[in-house]
Amino acid sequence: MEKLLRINMSAEGGPAAVAVPVGEYAGLGGRALTSAVVSKEVPPLAHPLGEDNKLVIAPGMLSGTIAAMSGRCSVGGKSPLTGGIKESNSGGQASQVLARLGYAAIILEGRPKENDLYKVFINKDGVKITRDNSLKMLGNYDLVEKMKCEYGDKIACMSIGPAGEMKMCAATVAFTDMELRPTRHAGRGGLGAVMGSKGVKVIVLDDAGMSARAPKDVEKFRAANKAFVDGLKKHPVTGEGLPAFGTNILANVINEAGAYPTHNFLWGRFIGTSKISGETEAELEKARGGNPTHGCHRGCVIRCSGIFHDKDGHYLTKQPEYETVWAHGANCGIDDIDEIAVMDRLDDDYGLDTIEMGATIGVAMEAGIAKFGDAQAAINLIKEVGKGSPLGRILGNGAGMTGRAFGVERVPVVKNQALPAYDPRAIQGMGVTYATSTMGGDHTAGYAVATNILKVGGYVDPLKPEGQIELSRNLQIATAAIDSTGMCLFIAFAVMDQPETFQALLDLLSAFYGIGMTGDDVTALGKKVLKWERDFNAQAGLTKAHDRLPEFFRKELLPPHNVTFQVSDAELDSVFDW
């Protein structure tokens, strides 16, 4: 990956692509590369949908190699939702393909002069950009089928649905899985709207004729990969729980912990959790001819994805993930997994963040737009977003916008981004991450659930404020580094519990690049990424006042533990004092 592909959408004579040396960004990948480019090249006060913003799509440092779990892709830019820097991470096949084509990143720049849509095709022979307004307002599923007819079925696609074209703040960038289904999404922060503002509907990748990226030390790399896979397979989370039940294995666990946000974060337990749990989901999938165990890209050995069929045994969507099931389920008082799967399919097709949409529907229900527990009403609200009706435009711009439009006080957002499926009052470490993350309310930025609830990497009492600052700080640093490698974040369970598996990861990086990478180097990388992001946010106008949870988390007791969020503002302000 020695070159950047810069695509200028406002070039004279129409969009133009040029491959340039990676230059000052050499050695970076994934989140490190997206955040470096955004922090250095995007004016912090630029309008997120204006020509000065950039959309950066970067495979990880190990993507395109034979390393297991290395197929994550980072999408970065200034977020229309938070107003700050954004990196949104996705699985799917595109990261591996883009890396094998030799690109460290695609950078979309400028903005078309006319209201046209474009498709971009990239293969070993170069880049072709074509105006194609026949693609306007196509859903992601129909769009990908059209691309298959045009380019064959050995491709990977990155695309936006109608929400991205309408530049909604909940819009995603969709990535196809190994079966060419647009089921993996860079979901958070509205980066689909940024892609829409660039006039790009789809990027089609074809790596035919290209081989895997070669490491500097082949034998050491292979040995490290074997040790790495062995570590993942022997850990109970990555080797047993996630492959058997997917991410939604957490539903019963978090519900039992009293941290499962219910009815727009009113309670910590949902009476219908067993009906929408990972165990129930997996049984249903097997009974209907689906599959609870599936990898979203080549080289995935955890295989926490899945295939969900409807009652007639026909493919409907990928296995709805934990966050999706919670957002459209417990958060909205809905306990029907089939209805939740329909909502998941709609979100993927329209190109909408399932977390943001579920939280938004919860706020709309709080406002009386629909009743809690009414699945059909929730489905209809998502369809309003897909149509772009006035109500749909409000909902499609997220929970914060919806709360303001309808005068709702209990709106679960930080930096205007909806909170995921862990109540910060019952998992205080997650509250610290939500409040202080550079990305807004985001569980993946520093997944304190691992230590607060699952006791991975030690244990910190989830109901007490003590120890949460250090926990979140260390996790945010480590996560920024992992997001840069192209590795799936779920490797952290094994890495945190097994020193030999962490060493295998270091050996993979060292053998590939011909360096001697240490744990201190990983920490230094994570800190560097976070500094770039925090500096950008500060210049964009975000202050300590934005590193706070909504006040209802400090005032309203959360049943069943009847606790509030207890970490002080002064402690929150110390997270990045390292």
Residue 278: burial class (beta carbons within 10 Å; 0-12, 13-18, 19+): buried
Task: Judge if 175 and 99 occupy the same domain.
Answer: yes
Distances, alpha carbon 205 to alpha carbons 108, 154, 226, 254, in Å: 15, 9, 29, 39
The strand ranges marked E within 374-455 are: 413-414, 417-418
How confident is the model over 230-245, as pLDDT tens digits? Answer: 999 999 999 999 999 9
If you write DSSP's letter for every residue of 307-318 in order, what string do you get?
A: EEE-TTS-EEEE
Percent share of the chain, pLDDT over 70? 100
Asked if the structure places residue 470 within a domain, the reply is no
Q: Which of 394, 421, 448 is the last residue of a domain?
A: 421
Q: Same domain for 192 and 306?
A: no
Residues 6+ apart with CB under 8 A from 157: 94, 143, 144, 147, 174, 175, 176, 180, 182, 202, 203, 204, 205
Q: Is residue 157 part of a domain?
A: yes
Residue 80 sits in a domain whose CATH number is: 3.60.9.10
d(CA 160, CA 403): 26
User: What is the C-alpha to C-alpha distance for residues 191 and 84, in angstroms, rounded to an integer?
Assistant: 12
Q: Which residues are CB-contacts of 123 (< 8 A; sequence separation ≥ 6)?
A: 101, 205, 206, 207, 208, 209
Which residue type, as a one-letter code, is found at position 235?
A: H
**For residue 193, is pLDDT > 90?**
yes
Whether 37 and 161 map to the same domain: the answer is: yes
Calpha distance 162→173 (Å, rounded): 11
CA angle 486, 491, 497 (to 5 degrees): 145
Average pLDDT of 359-367?
98
DSSP assignment of 523-577, as one string? HHHHHHHHHHHHHHHHHTT--GGGS---THHHHS-BTTTTB-----HHHHTTTT-
Give phi and psi for 319, each to the nearest 5: -55, 115
Question: Are residue 268 and residue 195 in the same domain, yes or no?
Answer: no
- Classify residue 232: in a domain, yes or no: no
- Report whether 523 contacts 475 (CB < 8 A): no
Do residues 69 and 147 both lie within one domain? Answer: yes
**Count of structural domains, the chain:** 2
Same-domain pairing of 199 and 311: no
Domain contains 290:
yes
Report the amino acid identity of residue 573.
D
Mean pLDDT of 397-415: 98
Between CA 533 and CA 87 the distance in angstroms is 10
Which domain, by its residues, includes 337? 262-421
At 377, which helix (H) or strand (E)?
helix 375-387
Specify whether the CB–CB gap between 488 and 208 falls below 8 A. no
Same-domain status, 98 and 201: yes
How large is the average pLDDT for residues 11-21? Answer: 95
Instruction: Give the pLDDT mean for 120-124.
Output: 97
Using CB atoms within 10 A of its CB, is residue 512 exposed (0-12), middle (13-18) or buried (19+)? buried
Between CA 34 and CA 98 the distance in angstroms is 15
Yes or no: say if 5 and 23 are a contact pair by the CB < 8 Å rule: no
- Give the Cα separation of 283 and 505 in Å (integer): 34
Average pLDDT along the chain: 96
Alpha carbon 106 to its chain centroid, in Å, reads 18
pLDDT at 317: 97
Rounded Cα–Cα distance for residues 145 and 151 (Å): 10
Name the pTM for this structure: 0.97
Residue type, 421: A
Q: Is residue 219 assigned to a domain? A: no
Tell me the mean pLDDT in the region 271-299.
94
Same domain, 200 and 291: no
Residues 192 and 268 in one domain: no
Residue with tokens 């919860």: 362
| Structure token digits, residue 215 | 């490491």
**pLDDT above 80 (res 79):** yes
Same domain, residue pair 165 and 20? yes
Confidence tier at 1 by pLDDT (50, 70, 90): low
Listed residues 421, 443, 464: the one ending a domain: 421
Last residue of a domain, one of 173, 190, 205: 205
The pLDDT assigned to 298 comes to 82
194, part of any domain: yes
Give the distance, in angstroms, between the CA of residue 383 and the centroid of all CA atoms in the same chain. 22
Q: What is the mean pLDDT of residues 209-213?
A: 94
Let me know if residue 506 belongs to a domain.
no
Q: Is the residue at 540 inside a domain?
A: no
pLDDT (0 to 100) of residue 297: 85
Residues 190 and 95 in one domain: yes
Radius of gyration of the chain (CA): 22
Band the pLDDT of 2: cuts 50, 70, 90: confident
Instruction: Give the C-alpha separation, 63 to 548, whole Å.
Output: 35
What DSSP state is assigned to residue 74?
E
**CATH number, domain containing residue 296:** 1.10.569.10
User: DSSP readout, 145-197?
Assistant: HHHHHHH-SS-EEEE--HHHHTT-TTB-EEE--TTS---EEE-TTSHHHHHHH
C-beta separation of 277 from 46 below 8 A: no
Please check whether residues 274 and 412 belong to one and the same domain.
Answer: yes
